[in-house]
């Protein structure tokens, strides 16, 4: 969950042309399965 929060902070900072304080007001997470090996790429999009 921390990776998702961090990815969104970076995406929002990019959309706002600089860092602005943000907070998570609603977070829903669905756990599928653990990553056993290799890297994980987290992608965030602000619409």
Q: What is the pLDDT of residue 47?
A: 73
Is 70 exceeded by the pLDDT of residue 8? yes
Is 6 within the bounds of a domain?
yes
- Residue 26, pLDDT score: 74
Query: Quick one: pLDDT at residue 17?
Result: 93
45 in a domain, yes or no? no
Q: What was the pLDDT predicted at 32? A: 78
pLDDT digits (tens, 9 = 90+) for 13-43: 998 999 888 776 776 778 778 888 999 888 8
Residue 30 lies in a domain: yes
| Residue span of the structural domain in which 4 resides | 1-39
pLDDT score for 1: 64
In a domain, 27, yes or no: yes
Q: What's the whole-model pTM score?
A: 0.51
Residue 44 in domain: no
Indicate the number of domains in the chain.
1
Handedness of CA 30, 10, 42, 47 (dihedral sign): positive
């Amino acid at each position: 969950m921390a990776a998702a929060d961090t990815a969104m902070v970076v995406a929002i900072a990019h959309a706002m042309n600089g860092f602005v304080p943000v907070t998570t007001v609603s977070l829903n997470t669905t756990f599928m399965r653990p990553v056993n090996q290799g890297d994980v790429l987290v992608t965030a999009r602000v619409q």
